Structure 1
Amino acid sequence: MAPRSKVELYAAIRRDCRAGLSKRAVMRKYGVGHPTVQNALESAWPRPRKKLPPRPTRLDPYKPLVDQMLRADLDAPRKQRHTAKRVLDRLLEEHQAHDISYGMVRDYVAVRRGEIRAMAGRGPVEAFVPQSHRPGVEAEVDFGDVSVRLAGHTVVCYLFSFRLSYSGKAVHRIFASGGQEAFFEGHVHALSVLGGAPTGKVRYDNLKAAVAKVIGFARERRENERWITFREHYGLDSFYCRPGLAGAHEKGGVEGDVGYFRRNHLVPVPEVDFLAELNLLVEQWDEQEDARRIRMRPRTTGEYFAVEQPLLKPLPDKSFDTSRTFALRVDRHSRISVRTNCYSVPVRFIGRRVRAVLHANELVVYDGSAGIARHERLIAKGGERLVLDHYLEVLVRKPGALPGATALEQARAAGKFTPVHDAWWAAACKVRGDRDGTRALIDVLLLGRRIAHEHLVAGLAASLRVGALTTDAVALEARKAQEADDADTGLPEPEPRRREPTVTSLTARRLAHLPPDTRPLPSPALYDQLLGRRARGTTTASKGERMS
């Protein structure tokens, strides 16, 4: 078999020559010349190819001029230095260099600028010093942007990452905003999962959630007062990196972790209805990462964390309240405004002051100690989240406002107001007129406060099939659908048959549950006697009238 590489060819030539084969025979055998055989006998390793001299380019005559411009930039203001385009423009204007292109200048400037700065002692080559971390001492925290298909819309959310420096164990959470509530909740979740806090420093960016002001270019920071309270509650010792790109290298572990998690678990873009569903998946992915080996480490992340976890600082018994509370007045549109966004509350609270508790991913509204509304937090600014159920009492008096209501539009988009609702509404308006048909629909929607959504839709569909467009008929069929579901859950068959609901009158249903009537039927004989007595009395009275 012929040799496949030059190394194998040299080895075969040397072997045949040692076996006594002549150089001429070796040349014929392998089809090579005398210099090749001679080189193989002199060295078992082929000589490296001679490096070709650089090919001349049309830019060569102008390179000294470009170097002169770049040297002048060493003392020029940072924002008034030559770009590749400006270098090309000067060569064209001052030296009529019409035979060169922008690509030539760009490639040369990209390499030569750094070389000139290094030769002048202005720009040393960027180097990184390897670091060692003791178990349980240091950690890093960062936020990263991620895109999510949330309820059918692509939105930008924020990935929180808390990473232990020794083991590489990271805990992640996705939030609707990157504000202080998310910053605090991410810490609380991460520390509870890790079972403790680092005993040393935790590295941070200069986030507004923690840093109120960066003082010069030093490490001194003026921290947010609420962040100071939170940090002291858990005993965290903060270390703030330098501003800008240079500071990102000081916490490169968590910077790389955010990118790794985004590429490996959030591609393709996840599609969920609520962020709570996505965070359940994130918790599962974090557990899977315990089996990962980071670079050339001999053990997995989970094995390193098993060593680190007992060395963490214990957590306080009492948790920190991470939410923000606002005292707000409900406007005449039955809304409250929180952080430039509006959320609805029931109309009976219009004009009253309520307490809004803002979390990272949701908003809860209280009247005293009673919760009156709960919303998923809006991501974009200037948005509105309205619940149709909050406006039903006023829509009973103003049914004409329902077709164009924003709450109805949002209910349709969220799947709460289904095509079955629309079909039942259209049929009711056709039979009763627009006003009475809309009021009937509102009465049906009020049933949703005590009947599950899927059962109410089943009741609407059943009543629509037979044309019984009344609230009582919908309530009856919804209850029958609920009873069928309850019965199905108790059957041993994997796929029990569900009885098709039928509409019956309420009178027949009530009579079916009454006990049988055992009383004897009345006799008409006594009734005839009473009629006879009444007829004779009437005759006597009439005679008296004639006598008078």
Structure 2
Amino acid sequence: MEALADLNERLASIDAAEDARHIHGRPTSIGFDFEQERPLLAPLPADEYDTGIDLLPLVHRNGRVTVRQGYYSVPAKFIGMKVRVKLRANEVWVYDGRQVVARHPRLTRRYTYHDILDHYLEILLVKPGAFAGAAALAQARAEGGFTKTHEAFWAAAKKKCGDKEGTRMLIEVLLLHRQLPASAVIAGMATVLKIGSISTDMVAIEARKAIENSDLEDAGPTIAHVAFAPGDEDDDTAIEEDHGGAGAKVISLRTRRLPPDPRTALPDMSKYDRLLTPVTDTVNERKGTSA
């Protein structure tokens, strides 16, 4: 960054010297002449000029594309497919149609790579044993995306459910980053660690609470204890106790996950009640009438 700043300062000094320069035979400087012509220039086009280069590399089995002897990760679902890559001066953009699915800083050294942990989560969810040694995890730690809160939640999840299931629980939490802001997910993990109830569903609930109470940054967690209903630890129902004295209230995690029912009212089933009438009674009535 310092070298780039020095380069910009040098270019600015060269521009200033060029504005003061006089062309042979002209009484005015280049800068003065340009200011006279500026009002006559046409406006700049509304669309930005694209200075990038379009490429169509193949996504390798390791989930990376090769661009100018550098390796960049893409979402795992594109493995074996060709994707459109925009090679820019400082960035590399990967497209699926018109949608950008990956953005990387451009690598300056040959045969180096840049991975994004989110691109491999579907694979690691199936093979959680490979998560700890993943190169994408090491890079996420180095860049600060995998925080100490993630580390603490991972350790607590492994302590509760074992290494395999605990790692899978962490990956499910990492998938929440696709739907919720990172700060909210981290706040949800911190609250869950504080109350001692390690659950992916509880992280999602607390993350949404953090979004709703984002204007109350200095306020602490609103719940004192969260536990599964006694005798039914596998049920998707949690009991939330409030400090305010209003008593405990039940939160259905399944209800939180499902979208609202779009139907305004249940269909009328009265015309089907005739099918419930026993057939024998109807036949006996007809026989009595005929007699």
Letter in 2 for 1:500: P
User: Which is bigger in relative contact order (C-alpha 8 A, separation at least 6)?
Assistant: 1
Q: The residue matched to 1:436 in structure 2 has which SS?
A: helix
Q: The residue matched to 2:119 in structure 1 has which SS?
A: helix
- 1:455 matched to 2:184? The reply is yes
The verdict on how the C-alpha distance between 1:302 and 1:404 changes in structure 2, with shifts beyond 3 A counting, is: farther
Q: Find 2:206's aligned residue among 477, 485, 507.
A: 477
Deviation at 1:332, TM superposition (A): 0.5
Contact 1:481–1:501 (CA under 8 A) maintained in structure 2: no
CA distance in 2, matches of 1:315, 1:511: 60
Deviation at 1:432, TM superposition (A): 1.2
Matched-pair identity in %: 42
CA distance in 1, matches of 2:40, 2:226: 70
Structure 1 segment 137-536 matched on structure 2, within 5 A: 146-147=2-3, 159=8, 161=11, 163=15, 167=19, 306-307=35-36, 309-310=38-39, 320-485=49-214, 487-488=215-216, 497-502=218-223, 504-505=226-227, 506-508=237-239, 511=250
Q: The residue matched to 1:366 in structure 2 has which SS?
A: strand
> Which segment drifts farther, 380-389 or 312-321?
312-321
Q: The residue matched to 2:57 in structure 1 has which SS?
A: strand
Contact 2:197–2:226 (CA under 8 A) maintained in structure 1: no
Letter in 2 for 1:393: E
Deviation at 1:161, TM superposition (A): 3.7
Contact 1:354–1:365 (CA under 8 A) maintained in structure 2: yes
CA distance in 2, matches of 1:431, 1:508: 19
How big is each residue's C-alpha offset from its partner over 1:464-522, in whole Å with a ceiling of 9 and x where there is no partner? 1222111011111111111110x44xxxxxxx7424243535443674699xxxxxxxx
Deviation at 1:460, TM superposition (A): 0.9
Deviation at 1:366, TM superposition (A): 1.1
Letter in 1 for 2:3: S
Deviation at 1:147, TM superposition (A): 2.7
Report the TM-score when normalising by structure 1: 0.37
The verdict on how the C-alpha distance between 1:168 and 1:399 changes in structure 2, with shifts beyond 3 A counting, is: farther
CA distance in 1, matches of 2:20, 2:109: 33
Letter in 2 for 1:498: A
Contact 1:462–1:501 (CA under 8 A) maintained in structure 2: no
CA distance in 1, matches of 2:126, 2:6: 40
How big is each residue's C-alpha offset from its partner over 1:127-146, in whole Å with a ceiling of 9 and x where there is no partner? xxxxxxxxxxxxxxxxxx95
Contact 2:18–2:31 (CA under 8 A) maintained in structure 1: no
The verdict on how the C-alpha distance between 1:497 and 1:322 changes in structure 2, with shifts beyond 3 A counting, is: closer
Which residue does the alignment assign to 1:203? none
CA distance in 2, matches of 1:512, 1:394: 32
Note the residue ranges of structure 2 that are not aligned, 5 or more in a row: 24-29, 228-236, 241-248, 256-291
Deviation at 1:309, TM superposition (A): 3.1
Q: The residue matched to 1:321 in structure 2 has which SS?
A: coil
Letter in 2 for 1:508: I
How big is each residue's C-alpha offset from its partner over 1:29-71, in whole Å with a ceiling of 9 and x where there is no partner? xxxxxxxxxxxxxxxxxxxxxxxxxxxxxxxxxxxxxxxxxxx
Larger radius of gyration: 1
Deviation at 1:459, TM superposition (A): 0.9
How big is each residue's C-alpha offset from its partner over 1:187-229, in whole Å with a ceiling of 9 and x where there is no partner? xxxxxxxxxxxxx9xxxxxxxxxxxxxxxxxxxxxxxxxxxxx
CA distance in 1, matches of 2:121, 2:39: 56
Deviation at 1:379, TM superposition (A): 2.6
Deviation at 1:371, TM superposition (A): 2.1
Contact 1:459–1:474 (CA under 8 A) maintained in structure 2: yes
Contact 1:167–1:304 (CA under 8 A) maintained in structure 2: no
Q: The residue matched to 1:462 in structure 2 has which SS?
A: helix
Deviation at 1:322, TM superposition (A): 1.3
CA distance in 1, matches of 2:72, 2:6: 20
CA distance in 2, matches of 1:452, 1:161: 40
Note the residue ranges of structure 1 that are not aligned, 5 or more in a row: 1-144, 149-155, 170-199, 201-300, 489-495, 515-548
Deviation at 1:304, TM superposition (A): 8.5
CA distance in 2, matches of 1:386, 1:352: 18
Which residue does the alignment assign to 1:491? none
Letter in 2 for 1:402: F
How big is each residue's C-alpha offset from its partner over 1:420-472, in whole Å with a ceiling of 9 and x where there is no partner? 11111111112211111101100110111111111111111111122211101
Q: The residue matched to 2:56 in structure 1 has which SS?
A: strand
Letter in 2 for 1:147: A
CA distance in 1, matches of 2:194, 2:54: 49
